[in-house]
Chain A
């Protein structure tokens, strides 16, 4: 079974609708992240959470909100979807730090392809 899962995998919605993307992990990691990927732009960080009580904005948080319901669950919401939020969305997790040094690697889910018409 996958360590990081995302639901739904694909979603088509209309402008103005509220959408929730869900992420669950069985890795026991404290840190979770939401990224979006647009063609030619790489991945950009939307929100991140260091633990259940810690939520932080990333570089492109406008139009999005998140909820960390438990250590294993991190949801991303689009309150009123617009067409330029059409993208591939990835959830990722990591431990807090590495004993051997260096920022810890992130483990990504399979992605959610969202289309806003």
Chain B
């Protein structure tokens, strides 16, 4: 699975959009980009995933660059409850080791009033 690089921390004002970048310059053609978040020692929570097209669901939007070497997770109206560590993960299909999720260090997002 391709390695990802994320900034260690970011701040965002409540009500504003939070844009979390992820670099995955070594991504290959069959690898998907997944985002999870972990709120203070709770179990990680799936947010969204995509291959090459932009994706949107009730939680967030995922923008993947045309060359697929980077992506941005967008929380359109951040709330205090969105304060968490956000993990960008790249996984292939078919995938190795039973779908092991390789969690890097992630980005610690702090949403401030």
Contact = CB atoms under 8 A, between A and B. Distances in A.
Interface in A76-117: 88, 90, 92, 94, 101-111, 113
A4 B101 CA distance: 18
Interface string B42-58: 11111001010000000
A104 B100 CA distance: 11
Residues of A in contact with B, size category: 20 to 34
Q: What is the interface of chain B mostly: helix, strand, loop, or mixed?
A: loop
Contacts of A107: 46
Interface of A: 4, 31, 33, 35, 40, 42-43, 45, 48, 50, 56, 58-59, 88, 90, 92, 94, 101-111, 113
B43 A92 contact: yes
A4 B51 contact: no
A42 B103 contact: yes
Contacts, number: 73
B34 to A, nearest CB: 7
Interface residues of B, number: 25
Interface string B30-67: 00101000000111111001010000000000000000
Given A4-B43, A102-B49, A103-B91, A56 B98 contact: yes
Contact of A111 (B42, B49, B95, B104): B42
Contact of A106 (B93, B97, B99): B99
B32 A110 contact: no
Contact of B104 (A42, A90, A94): A42
Contacts of A94: 99
Given A56-B98, A103-B32, A109 B93 contact: no
B105 interface: yes
B29 to A, nearest CB: 13
A104 B99 contact: yes
A45 B97 contact: yes
A50 B43 contact: no
Contacts of A42: 87, 102-106
Contact of B44 (A103, A104, A108): A108
Contacts of B93: 101-103
Contacts of A111: 41-43
